[in-house]
Amino acid sequence: MAADQNRKTLRSFYCRDYLWELFEVMTRDLGCSMDYLINESMRHYARSRNYSLAAPRPSVDGRAPAAPQGQLAAPTPTPMARTADLPPPPAQRRAPPPLPPSRAGGEAEPSAVANDGGRAPLYLLFNGQRYRIDKDKFIIGRGSQQTDLTIRDGNISRKHCAVIFRGGSYFIKDLDSTNGIEYNGKRVEHKRVEEGDVFYLCDYELRFTYR
């Protein structure tokens, strides 16, 4: 009689701390138990190495011989496990929130609706971070107590430049800095900020977008 592959027995083993912490994160994100995750990981690793538990062959008198404890059947040509082959966890995964539909005629989506009484939101992309500019004067410089964006570099002035909202538009303005603002390879004192504009403060890139 073939062994029950669904039977579970309490085991104990040593586990690296970082792996256990990683699996704890996975159980929360996938909505499954640690027991389920470890069993599935072991099963799919065995499949990836072309191992499978084989049912014992019947003996001459019709009874199944006892196989040596822990012995695995010879490898069989099983395809490597792929991520798509993994079964979903027992709990239903949470679907991501739907994106808001775009409006006809190329109008802005609801997320881009103007704020502060008609002011369109402007975003600054710097060093992998996204900053929302929602004030009349957004100061960039080295001084941490006097700036909205701090760049800790001796080549950057304490108050290097500012993004100013005036007359319904955003402008970038040099605040008498030592090394200035560079746009398209030229130093500029001030300029209206357009979609996708890229400015440089020494070697630091400032990218602006209204999206």
Q: What is the pLDDT of residues 137-156, one digit of tens each?
A: 999 999 878 899 999 999 99
Mean pLDDT of the chain: 75
Distances (CA, A) of 109 to 60, 133, 149, 180: 75, 19, 28, 36
Helix %, strand %, coil % of the chain (to 5) = 20, 25, 60
Q: What angle do CA 150, 113, 192 make, to 5 degrees?
A: 50
Q: Which of 95-99, 120-124, 207-211 has the lowest mean pLDDT?
A: 95-99
Highest mean pLDDT among 62-76, 118-132, 187-201: 187-201
Angle between helical axes of 34-48 and 17-30 (0-180°, round to 10): 110
Q: For residue 41, which phi and psi values (nearest 5 degrees)?
A: -65, -45
Model-wide pTM > 0.95: no
For residues 109 and 100, the model is more confident at 100
